[in-house]
Amino acid sequence: MTQLEQQGQCAKAAASVLAVTGTAKKNEALELIASALERRRGEILAANAADLEAARAANMRPSLLDRLSLSDERIGGIVEGVRQVAALPDPIGETVRMTTRPNGLTIGKRRVPMGVIGMIYEARPNVTVDAAVLCLKSGNACLLRGGKEAFQSNMAFVGVMRDALAEAGLPADCINLVQDVSRESATEMMHLTGYLDLLIPRGGAGLIRSVVENARVPVIETGIGVCHVYVDKDADLAMGAQIINNAKTTRPSVCNAAECLLVHAAVAEEFLPQAWALLRESNVELRGCAETQRILGDTVVPATEQDWDTEFGDYILAVKVVQNVQEAIAFINAHGSGHSECIVTSNYFTANEFLNAVDAAAVYVNASTRFTDGFEFGLGAEIGISTQKMHARGPMGLEELTSFKYVVYGTGQIR
């Protein structure tokens, strides 16, 4: 039995305890985790300093160094997050559609934990705490595999949380950190059938592709966002310019940022210079179709076919002029990643057609795609954004970490 299988076995045993643990006890453990993280922040910062030193020695980019680094303030934010999760309603135990059948059987669908949830993620050590406490609140044990750059920080976080679990009288094995952070351990997690009830990979296109090809455990794909803003002929053009500028430039590295602007031919001539006036302030590079090049001239790099399918994650925007909303919808369904898609229009019928026909986790009328987020959607928390249709779609909160079982109350019925 490998180390990972052993951890899987321990996590599974812990999950069976957690599945029958009440809300009060789980919240007590969360509060103990929060106060332990506050009390022991010195250890955590020391571990993080070791990660940072190694990262600097390996010439890590400043933006990644910033994502890796912790501070008193950042730990304070993490602790605050733990307390917010404790304050959320517990999804477990809710029973829906309870009915009595003609034969007298009373049947209900009761919300239960998934069991053991695996996560593969990179860089930011705060994800370790976020993921662990969301799993704990929803009654799931977890097996976490963070990035190797954050390993010491993750070890410190998990050590503190496991101690707090024991203090609460719960199994420390509710929260587990994978010790081997090689590529092989990620693949092994994908094959950990019998132990993992769900695997959530959070990372770039390469990780997601590897998971799709290799996973034998149930998976929720997250985080790939090739999002579009379509500015219709009936759009408020000033609103359209604000929306594409917001969707592109406020945080280009995240998955709900826009990668492609589509503009109706009838308004392209008027709209594109308006949008460009805002986008140029952030030095956005435009990669446009022939018509976009004609209108905006030398500011536009000719777009390649590949640009239409690329998540730039940067200050780069593909731009295409289309003939009508139908062309926009077809283009989005062919090139989008099913994440977040927006139409800017004042026309009721056009808005409805777009809402109905675009196949994506979130479809917007007259608002920035940047709102696709568990907190903005009112879920109170977020463990990732699913771009698949099965089980969870869009921002995932506590409910998306649960399953159901049918409970059936009989009085001796046979069939």
Report the interface residues with a copy of itself, using CB under 8 A.
16, 19-20, 99, 101, 105, 107, 112, 114-115, 193, 197-198, 212-213, 216, 218, 220, 236, 239, 242-243, 245-247, 250, 333, 355-357, 359-368, 370-372, 376-378, 388-391, 393-394, 403-415
The one-letter amino acid code at 43 reads: E
- Contact between 258 and 343 under an 8 Å Cβ cutoff? The reply is no
- Contact between 91 and 399 under an 8 Å Cβ cutoff? The reply is yes
The one-letter amino acid code at 239 reads: M
**Is residue 384 classed as helix, strand or coil in its secondary structure?**
strand
Closer to a copy of itself at the Cβ: 15 or 33?
15
Q: How far is the CB of 81 from a copy of itself (least distance, A)?
A: 20
Integer CA distances (angstroms), 267 to 37, 259, 292, in order: 55, 20, 12
Closer to a copy of itself at the Cβ: 37 or 112?
112
Q: How far is the CB of 178 from a copy of itself (least distance, A)?
A: 21
Integer CA distances (angstroms), 129 to 136, 146, 162, in order: 10, 11, 11
Closer to a copy of itself at the Cβ: 61 or 415?
415
Q: How far is the CB of 362 from a copy of itself (least distance, A)?
A: 4
Integer CA distances (angstroms), 176 to 128, 139, 184, in order: 10, 14, 18
Q: How far is the CB of 35 from a copy of itself (least distance, A)?
A: 30
Q: How far is the CB of 220 from a copy of itself (least distance, A)?
A: 8
Closer to a copy of itself at the Cβ: 294 or 391?
391
Q: How far is the CB of 389 from a copy of itself (least distance, A)?
A: 4
189 vs 42: CA distance, rounded Å: 32
The backbone torsions φ and ψ at residue 91, rounded to the nearest 5 degrees and listed phi first, read -75, -20
Closer to a copy of itself at the Cβ: 176 or 337?
337
Closer to a copy of itself at the Cβ: 63 or 356?
356
66 vs 258: CA distance, rounded Å: 24
294 vs 70: CA distance, rounded Å: 48
